[in-house]
Amino acid sequence: MKAYIFPGQGAQFTGMGLDLYEKSNLAQELFEQANNILGFSITDVMFEGTAEELKQTKVTQPAIFLHSVILAKVLGDSFQPEMVAGHSLGELSALVAAGVLSFEDGLKLVSQRAMAMQKACEIQPSTMAAVLGLEDEVVEGVCNDIDGVVVAANYNCPGQLVISGEVDAINKACEVLTEKGARRALVLPVGGAFHSPMMEPAREELAAAIEATHFNEPACPVYQNVPARAVNSASEIKENLIAQLTAPVKWTQSIQAMIADGGIEFIEVGPGKVLQGLMRKIDRSVAASGASLEA
């Protein structure tokens, strides 16, 4: 089966999406529609902005979503997903690709998600750290033993787990993890503790927006971050999407489930090659490539 996977925050780069805009009338229409929906010219920042401007939360998440979703739409009839998944923010791109959300509703939810997360980050200082070279169970055990909020947040691939929580708790966890033999335990340059209990205010705010949005039944199975398995019901997709902000991204487990269910060709749709790199570390036996207009 052919699986399409969609990247999350961190995949952005300056000039992203400009090639789509220049090559496709449909892409131009959708980008202009996005400018109107968001109330500012996101295309100006995507095509000509600096890396610093692209890092603004209100820009980053919609920019990655737009690059992914518009690329999928421009691929036209060649885009025939049999299963989809998205990493964190990328889950919303996957839901549009699977026909669960309209382009407009997906973009509005992404924008609301970004703003809600930004607000939650401002309530209390918090951060995330990447831990390399340890078993998941060891990292989870250390998190459980630390005073304060620190949890496993992103299961990216075997030997790469991102933790999330209060600044002091993260710093202490990094010390202990290094002592336990982590190859690296590195605090990340992010604005807050995503996928942790500290995102509860954002989860509550986004829940109201999600409940008010119409979700269609998916055209193909959606492997969501929270359960890490195929979901085929619009109501369950909603529940998982609400839970996602405070729950870990089980990416390794999702990809393994897709492979177990028959996924043999994985195509990353969106900016960068982050997910292709993770695919090689999760299972080298399956093909991983990036979608392009030339394909």
Catalytic residue, from 88, 93, 111, 254: name it.
Answer: 88
| Residue 227: closest CA among 203, 251, 205, 197 | 251
Q: Which residues contact 114 (CB under 8 A, 6 or more apart)?
A: 57, 58, 60, 61, 62
Active site residue 88: yes
Give the DSSP letter string of 169-202. Answer: HHHHHHHHHHHTT-SEEEE---SS-TTSGGGHHH
Catalytic residue, from 111, 195, 196, 254: name it.
Answer: 195
Active site residue 93: no
As to burial, measured by CB atoms within 10 angstroms (0-12 exposed, 13-18 middle, 19+ buried), residue 33 is middle
Give the DSSP letter string of 31-77. Answer: HHHHHHHHTS-HHHHHHH--HHHHTSHHHHHHHHHHHHHHHHHHTGG
85-115 core/surface letters (b: 16 or more CB in 10 A; e: else): bbbbbbbbbbbbbbebbebebbbbbbbbbbb
d(CA 146, CA 243): 24
Active site residues per annotation: 88, 195
